[in-house]
């Protein structure tokens, strides 16, 4: 199973949004979902995506998506999927809204600590990191990336002590492009 964590400092934490750009750049989160799961005539079932939203009105929210039997997901309607998941949040519990889709209140660092406790290896995506082509990637890798404003500085300072920073190339890419390149790299390595 490959894991991606997409952190967004502004993506809204209510399903009551219309304009994707004004909803804390929900358009970027949607592109990340599409790049995580969709292939031509197929979907990836070996991928778990964690969306961590810190926008108003009730941050933080952790949405977990994995494509499971019974999940009705279309790349034409990802915004509605996010809306429905956000609407179904219930305080104090992790709610399975659709098969493989969960929502709960959880901070970025708590999520990462939980994944470390499960024995996963964390990689922080950063242009200045070590070239991914020189890095061995284990089966249980978790890739952490940010939105248009990047990753949160304070948390990343702490994370750098326990996670490796890796780069996919010399340019600054869109978050969704980073996911596409990572998926391709893992496919080629058979991870
Ligand atoms: C559009 S970029 C963010 C740009 C933001 N202004 C910054 O400086 O972080 C979105 C995310 O993609 C990842 N990213 C972009 N280019 C990358 C690269 N060359 N190597 C690794 N990760 C990259 C980073 O995690 C970044 O937070």
pLDDT at residue 151 in the model: 97
State which of 128, 135, 146, 152 you would mutate to test the pocket of ligand 1, scoring each by most atoms of that ligand within 8 A of its C-beta.
Answer: 146
CA atoms within 13 Å, Cβ hemisphere of 24: 21
pLDDT at residue 105 in the model: 98
pLDDT at residue 1 in the model: 95
Counting from 1 in the atom list of ligand 1, the atom nearest the Cα of 145 is 25
Closest by CA to 89, choosing from 124, 66, 59, 116, is: 59
CA of 173 to the centre of ligand 1 (A): 6
> How do residues 125-147 score in pLDDT, each as one tens digit?
999 999 999 999 999 899 999 99
Mapped onto helix, strand or coil, the DSSP state of residue 127 is: strand
Counting from 1 in the atom list of ligand 1, the atom nearest the Cα of 170 is 19
pLDDT at residue 71 in the model: 96
State which of 150, 153, 160 you would mutate to test the pocket of ligand 1, scoring each by most atoms of that ligand within 8 A of its C-beta.
Answer: 150
Is the pTM for the entire model greater than 0.85? Answer: yes
Mapped onto helix, strand or coil, the DSSP state of residue 105 is: coil
pLDDT at residue 106 in the model: 98
Q: What DSSP designation does 158 have?
A: H
Counting from 1 in the atom list of ligand 1, the atom nearest the Cα of 171 is 19
Categorize the per-residue pLDDT at 19 as very low, low, confident or very high, splitting at 50, 70 and 90.
very high
pLDDT at residue 121 in the model: 98
> How do residues 27-72 score in pLDDT, each as one tens digit?
999 999 999 999 999 999 999 999 999 999 999 999 999 999 999 9
Q: Is 8 a pocket residue for ligand 1 (Cβ < 6 Å)? A: no
pLDDT at residue 26 in the model: 98
> How do residues 64-77 score in pLDDT, each as one tens digit?
999 999 999 999 99
Instruction: Tell me the backbone φ, ψ of residue 90, rounded to 5 degrees.
Output: -125, 125
Beta pairing class for 47-53 and 141-146: unpaired
pLDDT at residue 187 in the model: 97
Supply the CATH classification number for the domain 2-124+138-189.
3.40.1280.10
148, β-bridge pairs = none
> How do residues 153-180 score in pLDDT, each as one tens digit?
999 999 999 999 999 999 999 999 999 9
CA of 70 to the centre of ligand 1 (A): 33
The residues spanned by each domain of the chain are: 2-124+138-189
Task: Using CB atoms within 10 Å of the CB of residue 92, give its burial: 0 to 12 exposed, 13 to 18 middle, 19+ buried.
Answer: exposed
> How do residues 78-120 score in pLDDT, each as one tens digit?
999 999 999 999 999 999 999 999 999 999 999 999 999 999 9
Instruction: Tell me the backbone φ, ψ of residue 161, rounded to 5 degrees.
Output: -70, -25
pLDDT at residue 156 in the model: 93
User: By the 8 A CB rule, do 13 and 57 touch?
Assistant: yes
């Amino acid at each position: 199973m490959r894991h991606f964590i997409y952190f967004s400092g502004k993506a809204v934490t209510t399903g009551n949004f219309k304009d994707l750009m004004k909803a804390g750049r929900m358009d970027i989160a949607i592109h990340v979902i599409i790049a995580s799961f969709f292939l031509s005539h197929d979907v990836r079932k070996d991928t778990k995506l964690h969306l961590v939203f810190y926008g108003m009105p009730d941050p933080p929210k952790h949405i977990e998506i994995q494509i499971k039997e019974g999940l009705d997901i279309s790349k034409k309607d990802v915004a509605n999927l996010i809306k429905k998941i956000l609407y179904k949040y219930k305080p104090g519990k992790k709610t399975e809204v659709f098969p493989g889709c969960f929502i709960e209140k959880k901070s970025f660092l708590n999520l990462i600590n939980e994944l470390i406790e499960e024995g996963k290896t964390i990689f922080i995506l950063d242009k200045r990191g070590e070239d991914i082509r020189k890095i061995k990637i284990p089966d249980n890798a978790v890739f952490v990336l940010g939105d248009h404003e990047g990753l949160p500085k304070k948390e990343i300072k702490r994370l750098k002590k326990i996670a490796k920073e890796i780069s996919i190339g010399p340019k600054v890419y869109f978050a969704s492009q980073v996911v596409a390149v990572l998926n391709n790299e893992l496919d080629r390595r058979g991870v």
